[in-house]
Structures are given as C-alpha cells and as structure tokens.
Amino acid sequence: MGIERKPVAFGDLREWIAALKGAGELSEVNAEVDWNVELGTIMRLAQGAGDRPAILFNNIKDYNKPDSRSRRLFGLGLSSYRRVNMMLGLPLDTHPRELVRLGRTILEERLPPRIVETGPVKENILKGKDINLFDFPVPHWNRVDGGRYILTFAGCVTRDPATGVPNVGIYRGMVADATTIPMLMWRAQHIGVHASAWQQSGKKEMPIACVIGWEPSLGFCAGQPVPKGVSEYDVMGAIRGAPVDLVKCETVDIYVPATAEIVIEGMLSLDPADYVMEGPFAEFTGYVAGDKSPKPALRVTCITHRNNPIMRGTIEGSMPGSYSENAICSSIMRSATAWNVLDRAGVPGVTDVWCPPVQLGINVVVQMKQTYRNQAKQVANVLWGSSAGHVRYKHVTVVDDDIDIHDYAAVDWAIAHRVNAGEDDIIIMRSTFGMGLDPSTRRRDRNATLFGTGKWNRMLIDATINLDYDPDPDLGGARFPPTVWPSADDVAGADARWSELGLPPRKR
C-alpha cells in the first residue's frame, strides 16, 4: 500500500513562504547582503546536506531603497526532503525511499489548468523603454560566473508549434544587457525539440515566457522528466490538487500562472548569427561548466510582475555536505524515472532504485532480486538506451535485494566483495550520448553547438552475486558463502537481554 497524500494548493510563492515560516523551515536574513557574490556565497554555505531551512533575503544592497522595484530574494525552498514532503502533502518525516515510489506515478497524474482573465502578475506591465532586467536583484551568484544569472529556478515556458502543448523547463539564463538573456539549452531537451520545430517551420525566433516565483510545484515539475507531449501545468495541478490558474502573456501566445511574482516574455533566437555570449557558470556538477560561448538569446519584449515582487533563485551545484534544490528533487524523480524505464522494458525483480542527491542521478543504484544470470547487464542496457538516460545514469550499480541502497556503506560492501572485474562484473559502453557539462569529458566533446550533446563512456558495476558460479555442495548449494551476521533467533535472544547489558540502544 502506498503512502497517503493530502494535496496542498498554496496559491502563490508568498503562501508557500508563509507555510515554511509556520513550520520552522525558513530563515530570514535582515542584514544587508551584497547581490555581487556575497549572496550566492551565503546561500551555498547555508544549504547544507538536505537538512537546513529555506532562506529569504530581505535587505539586498542597491535594492533596498523605497523606490526599488524588487527588494527580496527567496531560495532553497526545495533543498530538503521535509519541504518536498510539505509540497506533496505528506508527513514531514516521510523517507526518500517512499518518495521514489510515489515519484513513479506522480508525473503520470493530470489535472488540466484553468484560464482566467487576469491576476496579480499583471499588476505591473513593462514594455519598451521601461524594460530593465537590472531593476531586479539578480545575483552574481559565484565569482567564477560569466555574469548575473536571472534564470536559475525559473519555469521557462515554450510550446510545440504543431500541437500547441506547452513545456515548462528549467534552464540557466544570464543577463547580457537590460533586455537580453542568453540561455544554455540542449537540442535533446524539450525546449530544444520545440526550437527545432520552430526552426523547421522557417522561424528565426521562438516565443518564450519565463516564470520567476510561484508555488513549489512549478520548480519541482519544470526540473523533472515530465513525458514529451505532456504539459507540466497538468502535472502541477495534480500535485497541488487544484488547477493552475493561467493568464495569457502580453506579447507572446503563451500562458503563465496568474499569481506568479515575475514573468519575462520574449523571443528566443534560433539563428546562430543572433546568438549572444554566455557563461561560464557554476553548474549542477559542482564544477564550473559551459564555457563562455555564443548561445540562443531571449530578446525581452515585456515584463509583468506583482507589486513588490519577490525574486526567486537558487544556488546551483552539489558537493559533499552541500545539496542544491535540484539535487534533492532529482534524487527522487531521476530514481523514479529509472525504475519506470526498467519496468516498462519488462526487467523483472527490481525492488528499489536510488540516485544519491550529491550527484543528481549521474550515478544510479538498482536493487533487484535476481532470477537469471546477467540480469544486471539488462538493467544497464535498458537505462542507457532510454531517452531518460541522455544526461543521467552514466554509472549504473546493481546489487542484490539484501543490500540497502540508501546506505552507502552497504553498497560499498557489496562492491568490495561481489565484484570481480575479470568475470565481466565491470562493463564499459564507450562513446555514447551524454551530458555536455561533465568535466571528465574532453572539452571538445562538450561542445553542444558542434555536436548537439555531450559524449560519455558509461560503466556498469555488477555487484550482484554471480549466478554463473557453480553451486557449492559444501554451502548447501549456494553460490556464495553465508555472511557473518547472527541468525534471527540469536539476534532476538540478544535483543531480549539488551536493556540489562548496559549498552547504548542498538540501531535497527
């Protein structure tokens, strides 16, 4: 039986912030903080390993005057499993293992949006000479960045020119000047598919709208692999248990949440002659990535925003002890997606899947109950041949069902004692498509403009008990010796006396 969910519609970013404050999940910074490097540094140090509060900056240098258009910035809203649980309407202590199981179906649920005439996002409408991206407290997040990045956790909305179905995705975007935002995108992403379709229809630009600041379901869905041809707005509605109220943009034929904080409308260049320099950026890998190069650029045609809008952004890049919002969400949904891919391909015996948050699904661990030999190789082939594997699942580790894949010590123990490289337990698949931001890939092979994607050499670590080994009559027909763990009866006997032994409580 699955966990019971009680969907919550927060209404907008402000109600989400209020809910976090009420739950003790928010830190407010009232001291003046410089948008130039200092804010990003503080946020990176504050995000922790999935165990620290969200953060609201109330006093940003150069944006704390009475006439400042925007004064505050919110981040780290989904950088903990507790807050993901809040968004999903689950008990706060729900284990990530249960979130992965829920994630297998959450992207399949649908509740279509509702079109409304207007909303708070239309309180201010800026066009022509009134457009100035520098009016908003956009951080220069990292000293190594090529500029100030306004798109870090925004929902970038495009639509298929043939079907009209929108896609909402998260892509990085840098402020080049007051009206221009060059963006990094890959042709294999949904935005890239849309761009190719618009280009093939003879257009040199594609309409786009970037939503900055709304309910948490927007960032959660926009950053996950919602199936092609499915509107993320439908999935957001199902997550929150209420339709998303959408209003039409002013200058492009795109719909956006009526209660969003800020919406940037415009046209995205598709002709390389119109590209604008972008990068580098401190990326999700935890390394500086995406070298400075010409990128498709958003030419801003309009900005709409609420009164006193709250800027929404996030510090990207995960490292040991510092997990980003992207890392926490991806650990759930990239695990769930991998499990679904395996299930649809008919791979039997999968009992759990996990992508630890520190690496956002570049590595995946699959737990399974083997029923035939070389089953682990089937797992790797299925994942590597799927569209979901385009920028994930570079290294696949498969273990038996007695290994807790949420315990790295258990996985490491399995690798140490069940892997024999000379028995084909290590398999390398060379020169496949892969992520263009991977610093372990040669620089030339990371050139998305030249190749459309990156290049990976992928690896399977088969840490399951090898069913090619002959059954050992001295081991009762088993292929592997028994572990040294006491029998269930011996454990129960010791536990019965534990309190009288004067020892600390035993971890179960």
DSSP summary character for residue 503:
P
Mark 321-342 as b/e (b = at least 16 C-beta within 10 Å).
Answer: ebbbbbbbbbbbbbbbbbbbbb
Whether the predicted pLDDT of 254 surpasses 70: yes
Give per-residue pLDDT as tens, 331-351: 999 999 999 999 999 999 999
Report residue 1's pLDDT band, with 50, 70 and 90 as the boundaries.
Answer: very low
Q: What is the overall mean pLDDT for the chain?
A: 93
Least confident of 95-109, 223-237, 362-376, 442-456: 442-456
Whether the predicted pLDDT of 180 surpasses 70: yes
Angle between helix 81-88 and helix 96-106 axes, rounded to 10 deg: 40
What pLDDT, on a 0 to 100 scale, did the predictor assign at position 449? Answer: 66
Nearest to 155 by CA among 216, 118, 210, 201: 210
Share of the chain above pLDDT 70, in %: 99
Question: Which strands, in side-by-side order, build the sheet including 454-463?
Answer: 350-354, 363-368, 395-400, 454-463, 426-434
DSSP summary character for residue 241:
T
Distance (Å, rounded) from C-alpha 432 to C-alpha 134?
Answer: 41
3-state secondary structure at position 257 = strand
User: In the predicted model, what is the mean pLDDT of residues 439-445?
Assistant: 83
- How many CA within 13 A on the CB side of residue 504? 2
What pLDDT, on a 0 to 100 scale, did the predictor assign at position 188? Answer: 66
Which of 1-10, 171-180, 451-460 ranks highest by mean pLDDT? Answer: 171-180
Whether the predicted pLDDT of 249 surpasses 60: yes
Compute CA distances 490 → 127, 365, 445, 485, 503, whole Å: 76, 31, 57, 10, 17
What pLDDT, on a 0 to 100 scale, did the predictor assign at position 454? Answer: 81
The larger pLDDT score, comparing residue 287 to residue 118, is at: 118
What pLDDT, on a 0 to 100 scale, did the predictor assign at position 151? Answer: 98
Lookup result for tokens 């900056």: 57
Question: What's the distance, CA 248 to chain centroid?
Answer: 27
The answer to whether 360 and 284 are in contact (CB under 8 A) is: yes
Give per-residue pLDDT as tens, 386-436: 988 878 999 999 999 999 999 999 999 999 999 999 999 999 999 988 887
User: In the predicted model, what is the mean pLDDT of residues 164-174?
Assistant: 94
Give per-residue pLDDT as tens, 80-99: 999 999 999 999 999 999 99
What pLDDT, on a 0 to 100 scale, did the predictor assign at position 142? Answer: 95
What pLDDT, on a 0 to 100 scale, did the predictor assign at position 362? Answer: 94
The answer to whether 191 and 124 are in contact (CB under 8 A) is: no
Lookup result for tokens 């088993």: 478
User: In the predicted model, what is the mean pLDDT of residues 45-51?
Assistant: 93
Global pTM value: 0.91
Phi, psi of 467 (to 5 degrees): -80, -5
